[in-house]
Structure formats: C-alpha cells, structure tokens
C-alpha cells in the first residue's frame, strides 16, 4: 500500500501539532527530514529540514511494523502547533516519492486490515472521537477496548463447542455414541439466546446515549419557558419579553446533564391564536414536544399535548409567588434549577440503565439473526429424530452472524459509512 501522511491533531494554532506517516516509506521519509532515526518506540528531539532549510524542531517517535496503531512502520512528528509549520512539513512530505495525503479514516482502516482492531473496536473508536459527555466516553471506550469483541469470542467458542458435539453425533451416526450430547447442547443454546436477547434489548438505550435526548420545555405564553432555557444554558439563547407569543420557532440548546447529551427545546407558548405565523410556531412546537424524550411542563393549562408519566411538572416563576403543582423553579433567580436538572438526569439515567456492550443497530441485527438461528436449532433439537444436521446448519448460521459482528465477514457495505465519519489523520 502507499505510504500515507496527515495532520492528526485539529488544524489551527496550538501548542503542539502531530503529523503521522504510515507505510513502507515512513522511515525513509523520516531520515530525509531529520537525518537519523530514534530507536523503535523511542522519542527524540530532531531538527526537521527540507532541502537544507530548517522547518522546525520536533519530537520524533518511530514505530516498527506490528507495533504501531496501523500495524505498519510509522513515524509521528510532534511539532510546534503553528499553521505555518504544519503546512511546511506537509508540503515537504508531499514532495517525496511514494507518499500521498491520507483519506478520511485511512489510518484506522489500515489498523482494521492489519488486524490491529476489529470492526466493533473501530466503531467504538469513532464514537470515542465524537464523545461529548462522560456517558458517551464510557460507552465508546467500552467498545474501543474490545468489550463486545471479547463477548463475541466467548459466544463463538460456545457455539463451536456445541457444533463439535453435534458433528461427533453426525460422524458416528452408525456407531454407538458413548453419551447423549443433547443436554449440553440444550444448555449452551439456551444460555446464548438469553445473552443475545439481553444485548438486543439494551441497544436502544445505547443508541440514545450516543445520539442524545431531547427535552422539550412546554407551557402557555409568558410561562417563563425562554427564561428557564436561558438559565439552564447560562446564556441568552432565547429572546424573553412580556409580550405573549415572542417565541415563534423551536430554539435548541445542547447540554451535558449528568454525563448525558441533552438538547433542551424552548417551544412556542401553547394557546389558540389567529396569528398565522404564531399558529405555525405552535403547531411545530406541539410536534417537537410529542416527539421529545421528556417534557418539562410549565403551568396548569391544557396544552394539547398528551402527557406521560415521567414528564416533569414545574411551578415556574416561584420568585414572583406564583403557586402551582410541581417543582418550584425560577428561571430569573435560578431557584430550583439544580433540582430540576437532577430530576431530569435521574429520569434519563433510568432510561439508559439497560444499555449493554452492543451499541448499534448493526449489532442488534447480527445478534437477532444469530438468536433466531439458535431458536430454530432448539426446535429441531427438541423434535428428536434425525435432525442433528439441521441443528448443525443453524449453528453455522449463528456463527456467521457473530463473525459479521466483529468484521470477519460480510462488512464491506458498512465500512464506507463508518470511515467517512472519521477525520483526516485518524
């Protein structure tokens, strides 16, 4: 493969910038820039020169094939984070034969192809790069460090054990088999189906951790919705006014609440109106409120929105002596706001408590195929008679589904989508 290079840190002014080079010509490129190489997996300060001109002094790290992130011979240049320095270094690399600029996600793709990572770990790495909150970081790190991969290997080993027992029955069908293998195979399949169902049930919660929640602030005009949103966000995200109907469109503010990504929605005040523009805003507000994961309800009015058991009712403007059912909150003074955030955090945390190691719909689909194959295998096993070959075939289907989970087979159609989300240099 070509030797590739890219800036691995964010572009722009910074204390340090990291430029990565990976491939068979990486060490030769390093020698051209700084003369001598540090020892493998060692770091040393070296002057970087192009055609005799000093570019910068950099910390240079060298990795031999098999010991780098990509699995190839690699070099990292840690330069000063000046855009001019980075641009000059990249220009020098571009002028070398056999080197080219990396495409998005190409370093990670090489790590996959060189079996440094499996597909589930690649997805975890993509999520880790995008993580904004603690819950997202923890979930992504679990995938990147191989939690799902290790489970898949254990499941696969159990299936291979069951398949081996059945194959022995088939191979020695005309001979007396010393013991009935059915009870052990039954137990293996039952345990695996239970594990798969648990993981499948948790994927929805894991998806919400990755994508985040929407919490709509709903109430009549002048109930204090925009003031509360501004207090939650710590800035003037929404215009506040004593004039009813000020908010016409849905205003969104994304926040970290208890480690989870939450988008708060300030919606138009719910009321009957003849103003065409305000009416459109109210209609849009109702639709977003209905679709939201949770609603914060201000006021006692009938808002035309079907309430749910977990919706949080708030007695807003408590600083003005306004009395109502629900948690007393003032967006103006901040009274009760921390309690409101804590309540929202508790409700959402309960929603995602069932998240497991399978975190994507792709994982759920693979586990569903495997689970259905095992359930069919159980039916054939219970039916008795000459069904061992049918059971064995369904076990093979289940194994192939698990292999697709970690990227052993049948994943080319998802690779493009995954790697397009990576930045250049990763």
Annotated binding site: 20, 76, 116, 222-227, 241-247, 266-269, 426
Kind of pairing, strands 3-7 and 14-22? antiparallel
Q: How far is the C-alpha of 278 from the C-alpha of 141, rounded, in Å?
A: 45
Distance separating alpha carbons of residues 203 and 366, to the nearest angstrom: 12
- Residues 119, 406: contact at Cβ < 8 Å? yes
Distance CA(151)–CA(138), nearest Å, equals 17
Which residue ranges make up the annotated binding site for (6S)-5-formyl-5,6,7,8-tetrahydrofolate? Answer: 20, 76, 116, 426
Question: What sign does the dihedral 225-227-228-232 (CA atoms) show?
Answer: positive
Q: How far apart are CA 351 and CA 347, in angstroms?
A: 7
Binding residues for Mg(2+): 226, 247
- The phi, psi pair for 214, rounded to 5°, reads -115, 130
**SS3 of residue 297 by DSSP:** strand
Nearest C-alpha neighbor of 329 from the set 346, 345, 342, 347: 342
Query: Binding site membership for GTP: which residues?
Result: 222-227, 241-247, 266-269
* DSSP result, 227-294: HHHHHHHTS--S---SSTT---S-EEEEEEETTEEEEEEE-PPP-----HHHHHHHHHHHHHHHHSSE
Say whether 329 sits in a helix, a strand or coil.
coil
Residue numbers belonging to the annotated binding site for K(+): 222, 241, 243, 246
Residue 227 tokens read as 């003031």
């Amino acid at each position: 493969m070509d030797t590739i290079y890219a800036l691995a840190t964010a572009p722009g002014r910074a204390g340090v910038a990291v430029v990565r080079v990976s491939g068979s010509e990486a060490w030769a490129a390093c020698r051209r820039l700084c003369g001598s190489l540090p020892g493998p997996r060692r770091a040393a300060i070296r002057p970087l020169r192009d055609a005799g001109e000093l570019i910068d002094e950099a910390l240079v790290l060298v990795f031999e094939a098999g010991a780098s992130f990509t699995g190839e011979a690699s070099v990292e240049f840690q330069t000063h984070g000046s855009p001019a320095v980075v641009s000059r270094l990249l220009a020098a690399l571009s002028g070398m034969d056999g080197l080219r600029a990396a495409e998005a996600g190409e370093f990670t793709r090489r790590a996959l192809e060189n079996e440094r990572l499996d597909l589930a770990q690649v997805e975890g790495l993509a999520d880790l790069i995008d993580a904004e909150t603690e819950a997202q970081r923890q979930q992504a790190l679990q995938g990147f460090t191989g939690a799902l991969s290790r489970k898949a290997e254990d499941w696969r080993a159990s299936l291979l054990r069951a398949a081996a027992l059945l194959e022995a029955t088939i191979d020695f069908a005309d001979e007396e088999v010393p013991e009935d293998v059915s009870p052990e195979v039954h137990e293996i399949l039952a345990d695996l189906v239970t594990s798969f169902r648990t993981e499948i049930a948790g994927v929805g919660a894991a998806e919400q951790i990755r994508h985040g929640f929407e919490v709509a602030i709903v109430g009549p005009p002048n109930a204090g919705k925009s003031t509360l949103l501004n207090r939650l966000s710590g800035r003037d995200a929404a215009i506040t006014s004593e004039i009813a109907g000020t908010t016409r469109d849905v205003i969104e503010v994304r926040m970290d609440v208890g480690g989870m990504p939450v988008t708060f929605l300030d919606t138009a005040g719910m009321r009957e109106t003849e103003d065409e523009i305000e009416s459109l805003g109210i209609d849009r507000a109702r639709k977003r409120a209905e679709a939201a994961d949770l609603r914060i309800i201000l006021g006692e009015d009938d808002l035309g929105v079907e309430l749910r058991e977990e919706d949080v009712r708030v007695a807003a403007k408590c600083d003005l002596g306004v009395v109502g059912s629900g948690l007393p909150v003032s967006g103006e003074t901040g009274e009760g706001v921390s309690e409101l955030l804590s309540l929202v955090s508790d409700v959402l945390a309960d929603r995602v408590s069932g998240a497991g190691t399978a975190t994507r719909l792709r994982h759920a689909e693979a586990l569903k195929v495997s689970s259905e194959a095992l359930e069919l295998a159980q039916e054939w096993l219970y039916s008795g008679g000459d069904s061992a070959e049918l059971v064995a075939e369904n076990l093979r289907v289940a194994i192939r589904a698990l292999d697709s989970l970690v990227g052993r087979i049948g994943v080319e159609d998802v690779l493009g989508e995954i790697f397009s989300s990576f930045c250049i240099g990763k």
